[in-house]
Amino acid sequence: MATPTAASDRFEETKGDVTYIRTDKDLPPVAIIDRSPITTRHKIVFGVIAVLGAIAWAIIAFFRGETVNAVWFVIAAICTYVIGFRFYARLIEMKIVKPRDDNATPAELFENATDYMPTDRRVLYGHHFAAIAGAGPLVGPVLAMQMGYLPGTIWIIIGAVLAGCVQDYLVLSISTRRRGRSLGQMARDELGAIGGAAAIIGVLVIMVILLAVLALVVVGALAKSPWGVFSIAMTIPIAVFMGIYLRFLRPGRVSEVSLIGVGLLLLAVVAGGWVAETDWGKDWFTLSGVTLSWCIIIYGFAASVLPVWFLLAPRDYLSTFMKVGTIALLAVGILLARPLMEAPAISQFASRGDGPVFAGSLFPFLFITIACGALSGFHSLISSGTTPKLLEKESQMRLIGYGGMLTESFVAIMALITAAILNQHLYFVMNAPAGQTGPTAATAAEYVNGLGLSGPPITAAEIDAAAESVGEQSIVSRTGGAPTLAFGMSEVLHQVFGGTALKAFWYHFAIMFEALFILTTVDAGTRVARFMLSDGLSNLGGPLRRLKDPSWRLGAWVCSLIVVAAWGSILLMGITDPLGGINTLFPLFGIANQLLAAIALTVVTVVVIKRGLLKWAWIPALPLAWDLIVTLTASWQKIFSADPKVGYWKQHSICQAAQEAGQLCLTAKTPADVDKIVRNTFIQGSLSIIFASLVIIVFVAGLVVAIRAIRGTGRPLAEDEPVPSRLFAPSGLFPTSAEKEVQKQWDALPKSPVASSTS
Amino acid sequence: MGRAAEVTRRVVDKLSWYAASLMGDNHYRRYVEHRSRAHPGEPVLSEREYWRMRHAAADADPGARCC
């Protein structure tokens, strides 16, 4: 629904509660403002949804001693999303966004049928979702299961409604009013030079750590798994085949080639099972973590310098196809299998803070571990820049920005369910670092049985049987979240599709698609980071100015090399880390992602205040305040904590003392391990300091600008002049009757006269 | 019976339109429409050339993908 306007080239006509706005007397309306009050039927429907949601929440939160069915999680999530979308998002729309459908969006204004293209709202919703959701919402909730299912569920659902969706929606709205400018550019425009520079450097550094940790998850899932390595390796020739097919054989037949690609992909997963049975297959594809890391580093570099059509574009097609398909499959699987929760509502590790999966207590580390799915700063890079250039109407931003993030939150809930239905002993066998579980099923069984978990103890034979059921030699300490999710998915899906015979297939299918998402993020992310780097360096002037030219190959190679070296070295550091890798690096990933959210929310809050909407500034300021409290507390603990399980510098000083005394420290087993811990903790500790400082600079810059704006002495808003729109499209998922009526009028027009008046 | 077939056909049409728009199958057709509407009489790229142009544009300005 649009907001009223008083411009001179607008013609308004009101019938009852509905106002129609034309920008051309001879054309049908381009905007509809519907002030109809909520109908009794709707009141009843939303009332029922609210009550149902409340019942589901009560069952999840208060049923103790009984196992809770996974379906209640789905109901609680969906009911909360519906209420959040209908009421909170609508409030934000009416009070802050105030969409003006009589103004053209960047997509309409600069339409070129390439990157600027008004796209049907339902299609754009799909695009936006495919761009924001990847492996993040699948991995975070799995790791957070260490704390029990309740805290994660509350944070994923409530966090999305009050924080993540608000960020995505508002960033989309301010970028749309600024011709689709990127977050970094908007930060410079609205916060000034220092805040802007800190934001741009922050984005770049955060991107590097993000790529490193995602790559670490893939390596964790594939190390010593010949089946997984084979099927992932095959995605490269499949993508290249698709690229060649699209470029030379049948250009434009994207769905066709994607279907062929998905068929080949499934074949690769099946074939992986055969290959892993053979001696040569075991020889070739059983790779150590370090070797795999080098493979991914080389791959990341190659993918970022090769032409897009050859590898990146086809992989993206495959990834989109698999994303939508697999998530739908998992939802159907959960609803049909209706599994029971094995995890406790709140575990012993929530308050003690000594859990093996990640260190630290529930506050703040749960909110760091689950970033994607509840509040993900990275989305602000897609909500600004990419999506505004495809948007038809401002009023559709609620569906795409807010609704897209709700969908990602739902994906996170499903990931949480798949981890919560696993036997808890098995969960810790898979997720505790190797230094604690030891190398064999026997040592792992002994370790987890000593953790004091509820339920009967596990035996080594049971662990071996679980590994065999999914076609792996071992599942001991397969950290990173991806193997656990794959295991949970195979539990759900084999009950519905195919029985125990297909369990190993589903496990490797899940591993394959997670790795596919991550590798797509790694190659696209390396490329984006390379562009940011060369753009930033070219602003320094001198001979570096030549980097502005994207076709300068040497410059592109050098910048790619720098980016890959940055995340590659962190990846190698994580893989060889004696302290466990994922449990020390994942918090850094979460902190980085949420600090990016702090930057985005600062920019948004400043814009809201500059627009004179101080009264409603609490809407973005609430998630901003929460996010700053969480991330800065976590950073503080990571930097200053005296607990050697949490504080990087504490670990550093202990091991440095041990190094000088020629002794061992923490989980180090050799003097070389001690050296590694000294080096790694130094890097991790320094990165924590850099992240936190950059965000504080951005926040302070925002605060200064906001205070100036409130006093009325600030710089003006950098919004662009509105241009009247010449097209019509409905706002929500389903068109209203008034929208259908207007759409009919547009459809009845002869095609060509519209054309002449458009240009 | 006939009605059910009609509904099925419409659902299938809608789904295939959705997939085609999401993946890009009909982007070239939209490009041709756009050219004839906004720049009538000017030359139009062939489908092969159009996709080369699209990929070259993506080469020069990659879209971010999240996690």
Task: Kindly report, residue by residue over A237-272, the tens digit of the pLDDT.
Answer: 999 999 999 999 999 999 999 999 999 999 999 999
- ipTM given for this complex: 0.95
Quick check: A115 and B57 CB within 8 A? yes
Burial class (CB within 10 angstroms; exposed 0-12, middle 13-18, buried 19+) of A617: buried
| Residues of A in Cβ contact (< 8 Å) with B64 | 131, 378, 381-382, 385-386, 524-525, 528
DSSP label at A307? -
Contacts of A670 (CB under 8 A, 6+ apart): A664
A317's tokens: 């097609």
DSSP label at A670? S
Question: What's the helix, strand, coil split of chain A in %, to 5?
Answer: 70, 5, 25
Q: Inter-axis angle of helices A648-661 and A671-711, to 10 degrees?
A: 150
Instruction: Find the closest chain A residue to B36 by CA distance.
Output: A755
| Residues of A in Cβ contact (< 8 Å) with B47 | 251-252
**B27-63 residue pLDDT tens:** 999 999 999 989 999 999 999 999 999 999 888 888 8
Dist. CA A739–CA A288, nearest whole Å: 59
Cβ–Cβ contact A325 with B under 8 A: no
Cβ–Cβ contact A123 with B under 8 A: yes
- CA distances to A253, A421, A652, B51 from B27, rounded to whole Å, are 10, 43, 55, 9
Q: Which pTM does this prediction carry?
A: 0.95
Quick check: B66 and A307 CB within 8 A? no
**Whether residue A747 has pLDDT greater than 90:** yes
Strand A18-22 and strand A31-34: the pairing is antiparallel
Dist. CA A172–CA A402, nearest whole Å: 9
Smallest Cβ distance to A376: which of B27, B52, B66? B66
Contacts of A648 (CB under 8 A, 6+ apart): A584, A638, A639, A681, A684, A685, A688
Closest of B65, B45, B19 to residue A128, by C-alpha: B65
Cβ–Cβ contact B11 with A under 8 A: no
Smallest Cβ distance to A114: which of B37, B57, B66? B57
Residue A711 banded pLDDT, cuts 50, 70, 90: very high
Position A755 scores a pLDDT of 41
**A279-327 residue pLDDT tens:** 999 999 999 999 999 999 999 999 988 999 999 999 999 998 888 888 8
Contacts of B42 (CB under 8 A, 6+ apart): B35
pLDDT > 90: what percent of chain A?
Answer: 79
Locus of tokens 């699948």: A138
Please work out, in degrees rounded to the nearest 5, the angle formed at the alpha carbon of residue A437 by the alpha carbons of A435 and A439.
Answer: 80
The count of CB pairs under 8 A between chains A and B is 136
Cβ–Cβ contact A119 with B under 8 A: yes
B14's tokens: 């809608």
Position B1 scores a pLDDT of 60
Q: How would you list the strands of the sheet with A11-15, edge to edge?
A: A11-15, A18-22, A31-34
Domain-by-domain residue ranges, chain B? 2-60
**A718-729 residue pLDDT tens:** 888 899 999 999
DSSP label at A667? T
Smallest Cβ distance to A308: which of B39, B59, B66? B59
Which amino acid does the sequence have at A580?
G
Position A756 scores a pLDDT of 39
Domain-by-domain residue ranges, chain A? 1-35
Contacts of A211 (CB under 8 A, 6+ apart): A300, A521, A522, A525, A526, A529, A567
**A584-596 residue pLDDT tens:** 889 889 999 998 9
- CA distances to A217, A225, A471, A477, A507 from A273, rounded to whole Å, are 22, 10, 8, 22, 11
Mean pLDDT of A630-639: 95
Which amino acid does the sequence have at A107?
A
Contacts of A32 (CB under 8 A, 6+ apart): A1, A2, A18, A19, A20, A21, A101, A736, A738, A739, A742
**Whether residue A5 has pLDDT greater than 80:** no
**A351-369 residue pLDDT tens:** 888 899 998 899 999 999 9
Beta carbons of A200 and A556 less than 8 angstroms apart: no
**A104-158 residue pLDDT tens:** 999 999 998 888 999 999 999 999 999 999 899 999 999 999 999 999 999 999 9
Residue A581 banded pLDDT, cuts 50, 70, 90: confident
Cβ–Cβ contact A381 with B under 8 A: yes
Beta carbons of A252 and A627 less than 8 angstroms apart: no
Beta carbons of A132 and A405 less than 8 angstroms apart: yes
Better-scored residue on pLDDT, B64 or A692: A692
Q: Pseudo-torsion of CA A252, A254, A256, A260, nearest 10°?
A: 130
| Residues of B in Cβ contact (< 8 Å) with A521 | 65-67
Mean pLDDT of A615-643: 96
Dist. CA B48–CA A239, nearest whole Å: 19
Cβ–Cβ contact A670 with B under 8 A: no
Position A552 scores a pLDDT of 87
Cβ–Cβ contact A758 with B under 8 A: yes
Q: How many helices and strands (H and E) does chain A possess?
A: 32, 3
Instruction: Find the closest chain A residue to B24 by CA distance.
Output: A254
Beta carbons of A85 and A406 less than 8 angstroms apart: yes
Beta carbons of B65 and A316 less than 8 angstroms apart: yes
At residue A69, the 3 state secondary structure works out as strand
Position A8 scores a pLDDT of 60
Smallest Cβ distance to B66: which of A132, A255, A317? A132
Residue B64 banded pLDDT, cuts 50, 70, 90: confident
Closest of A555, A149, A600, A492 to residue A344, by C-alpha: A149
Position A718 scores a pLDDT of 81
* Cis? peptide before A364, omega within 30° of 0: yes
**Whether residue A4 has pLDDT greater than 70:** no
Quick check: B67 and A113 CB within 8 A? no
The most distant pair of C-alpha atoms in chain A lies apart, rounded to whole Å, by 87
Cβ–Cβ contact B47 with A under 8 A: yes
DSSP label at A88? I
A141's tokens: 């909730």
Q: What's the Rg (C-alpha) of chain B? A: 17
Position A754 scores a pLDDT of 43
Q: Pseudo-torsion of CA A392, A398, A399, A400, nearest 10°?
A: 70
At residue A21, the 3 state secondary structure works out as strand
Q: How far is B5 from chain A (nearest CA, A)?
A: 23
Total residue length of chain B: 67
A716's tokens: 């003006």
| Distance from chain centroid for Cα A252 | 29
- CA distances to A11, A108, A332, A755 from A759, rounded to whole Å, are 20, 11, 47, 7
DSSP-assigned letters across all residues of A104-130: PPHHHHT--SSSS--B-HHHHHHHHHH
Position A6 scores a pLDDT of 46
Beta carbons of A508 and A516 less than 8 angstroms apart: no
Mean pLDDT of A204-221: 92
Quick check: B34 and A122 CB within 8 A? no
Which amino acid does the sequence have at A434?
A
**A402-454 residue pLDDT tens:** 999 999 999 999 999 999 999 999 999 999 998 899 999 999 999 999 999 98
Dist. CA A376–CA A193, nearest whole Å: 25
Which amino acid does the sequence have at A207?
M
Contacts of A87 (CB under 8 A, 6+ apart): none
**A17-61 residue pLDDT tens:** 999 999 999 899 999 999 989 999 999 999 999 999 999 999 999
Cβ–Cβ contact B23 with A under 8 A: yes
Taking the alpha carbons at both ends of chain B, their separation in whole angstroms is 46
Q: Inter-axis angle of helices A136-144 and A582-610, to 10 degrees?
A: 120
Dist. CA A368–CA A414, nearest whole Å: 19
Contacts of A607 (CB under 8 A, 6+ apart): A174, A186, A190, A717
